[in-house]
Structure formats: C-alpha cells, structure tokens
Structure 1
Amino acid sequence: MNQNKKMSYKAFVYFEKKMHRVLLASLKLKRLEKKVVEIINSTKNDNDKTVNYTPRFKIVDNNSREITNDKQLKTAFNAEDVFFFVHPIGMFYLLILKLIKITMIDTIDNSNNEMKYPEDEKIEEEEEDIDEHHSILNPLVLLTGAAEYKNLKYLPGVKVDLMKFRNLFEDVYGYEVHCTYDPNKHETESLTFNELNIFLTHHYSNLIKTNNNEKNYDSLIFIWCGHGNTTEEGDTLITSDDDNYKPFKKIQELFTSDTN
C-alpha cells in the first residue's frame, strides 16, 4: 500500500494528457473527488468564466474499474503503483480520439502490406480528412516498456506513460490491449531482450494461428516506453539488460510477414 510516515496515501491522477501527484489524508472517495475537482478547475481554459463550476466525471483505477465507493478505493491502493484516470462527462472522448489519431504509431495496411505513418504537419486538418487517412477500427495493441535497467538510468515515467496508453486504448476506444507492465507486479518494471521477444512472438503466433487473423485486426499499434538509440539499422529500443538492442524495423518486419 502506498503510504508515507504521516499516514497519507500517494496516487497519480491522469487528466487531460497530464499526470498529477496527489496525497490523500484518508481513503475516502470524497477526498479523492475533491482532489479531482481541484485538478479540473486548475486546468480550465482562461476563457472559461464559469463560476462555482462543479464538474461531472468518473474515476477508474489501474484495472479500468470505476471507483464509486470507499471500499473500491481501498482495494485500488493494494497496487504497488496507484493510478486513477478521470473521464469528464461531455466532449472529452471526442477530443482524445482526435489526438490519438494524430499521434498514432505504425499501422498495417492489410491490402498491400505497406506501413502507414501519420503526418504531423496535417494536425490542423479537418476531422473528416483525419478519419479518411487514419481509419482504424480493430487494431492489435501492444504496449511495451522498461523502467528498470541493469546499468542505465531508472525511468519511473515509463510506468505512468504505459498506464496512460492502456487507459486511452482500453477505456476510450474499447480496444483489446496487451501490455508488458502490470502495476500489481513489481518485476514487470524491467523487460529483458528475451522477454520482449517472447512477448512479440506470442502475439505474432496467435495472429497467424487463428485462421489468418480471425479477430480481423486491421492495424498494429506498437508502443515502446524506455531507453532507445539510433544505429545504422535505424531507431532501436534498449531492453533492461542494457547491451541488447531491438530495431523497430525488425518488429515491423515480423508483423507484416504472412499476416494477411
């Protein structure tokens, strides 16, 4: 349980693309809701002149379960790292949808095996144009990363980033997400070269064994959070055993071969 000497409880609250660190004096839902209201009001646009505004929202935990009472809140604090995700009731989901489409990573075009990449300079395009070029209905989502390394610098932000992505893809889009990091298991903060290969091979094998893509995946979303480098082979990711590098190109080649 995340608890300091003063019997306060530490958690991270994700709201509108930012992670906020909060301390709760007790595990009462009303206290968490008060913190959330403070966060929402502190991030309001300067043009928003609303007075005595009481935002409407829902709070979900690490496991995508909505927190509606004190008992559920206490259960959420059993995790080693506690994250809460705030979903305002309103236009929030549409906004996130557009942002994700703009920043979407490599997708597989099943008609010709070519890799498609979103163009950052087209961020100001109309929503209709974005939908036309980045229509993704049922992607295979693989989230990978390493916070803990044998010799390289520890990256605590990796855990936060992976939880952000999982929340967005699972709760906002409803996609099936596979992630190497589990906030309930400390050992998953590290990811060795062998563990990464096993993870990738497992999902690739499932893809080609299920009657040539029985789940009708129309794209691949692969995300790496952790140390990386650039070599002659292009951009690479560095696993927890430090001296092992995995070129992104190899991952692309794996999932674009014999998957159609």
Structure 2
Amino acid sequence: MWEATRPSTDVDVERIADLIRTLGTSAVMPPLDHIVLGASPCPDWCQWGVQQLLADIRRTSGAGDADFGTPGMQKGIEHLEAARETLRRVWPEAALEADLLIRVIVYVQGGAFRSGTLRQTFGAIYLGTSSVESTPAAFEALLHETGHHALYLRNQFETFVTNGDAMVSHPLRPDPRPVAGAVHAAHVLARMAFGLTRWSREPTAPPEVSERRDDALRRLRGTIEALEPVADWTDRGRLYFDDLLTWEKELTAAHPG
C-alpha cells in the first residue's frame, strides 16, 4: 500500500486509491493491543524486542539512560487513540495503512528512548513516554513508526540503494549509521512533515502541531543533504528519491519558516 508513502509516477494511483476506499469501507480491524511494559503481560517476542532496544540505547547513550521502567500510561494511551482519530480525519490513507500494519503498541519508560520499530517484531511499535506526552507527539510517533513498517515492507520487493552499509550521519541519528537507515529517516520525516502539515491547516490545531511540522521539515532537509553525496541509488531508488525531493520542496515552499 504505497498511497500513503507518495508513489512514483508509474504507479497506478487511481487503482491504489480505489483499493484504499474499498478497504476503508469493508475492512473491520480488531482494536489495537496496548502493552505497558511491567504492568501488562509481555509475551516472549515483546521481552526480546525490549532487550534489543535496551542494547541499542546502551551502545549509543550509555547504560545510565537505558533502564526501562513501568510508565503510568493511561493518559498516553488516550493521546495515542486521539492521534489515531485525528489521522483518520486529516490523512485517511495513512490512517488505514497504520490500521493494517500496526497491531500492538508497547509502552516503555527510559530516559533516552523515544520510539522504535524492529523488523523481527513487525506489527508492533515501541513508544517511550515522551512520544505520547501529548496528542501531537503521539500523532508524529504513529506516522514515524508506521513509516518504518511501510518501508520495510516495500524493501522486500524493491532495492533503493546499492551501498546501504556505507555510513552517514543525519539529524535523526547523529551517530554514524548505515545509508539504508538514513533512507528510512528521510522517509519517516517526510511522512511526519506531510501529516503534520495537513493537521496544521485546521483552525483548531494546537500550536505544537506547527512546531513539530517545522522541526520535521528542518530535519528532513538535513537528512536529504546527508544522503545526496553518499547514496548510490538504483533506478527505482532514484525515482523514489526524486519524488521525496519534490515532496520536501513543496512542503518547504508552503512553510519556509
């Protein structure tokens, strides 16, 4: 489902849009599962995923910031559900994509942890307390982590870069990371900026929405600038990246901030 990820021009957009409309009226999705680490039953896959996230934080931030605790998440869950309703209103294609791809939210508390997705636990996203401290924060996190899911799925069928293991720094992860990860960063930042832009057009949108939109756009531009001299694109990847560039220019022109 690429409609929510800005398809290239050779994709039959009308056919995809018609499929989305059909799914949106016929699919009955079960409710999301909410797992609060330490307070809800956490299956083996969940425990494994949390340990992977802890190991990554310890590598990049030190063990002192990596101790996950039990958050009081009732308000955070309310923000997440409000964010889902807002997404259905302002960007229904992305909301349907999230409903289809994301089935479990795992809430954790750790000083350095904001949010995460693991390919091995596809269908689950891990959210730290800062990612659900407000409805705009949860809205952004949902777009961010669903974006990783969508690109992981797409990369099963398409290769975008031939030097995915080359190292580069970018605004989402300033420590050197593989180019393939920087492509993910650009992808999710574009989604965040686009979704936040749509919400910011509503007169009732909180000021935080525009602030987050401007931050996402700034980091998107920085990530694109980091990728441009390094990434070795395939033909399909070049089309994808050109489309991403167009999207970034359109959003920046509308909000030069």
Both proteins in one fold, TM over 0.5? no
Which of the two has greater helix per residue? 2
Q: TM-score, normalization: structure 2?
A: 0.28
Q: Which has the larger radius of gyration?
A: 1
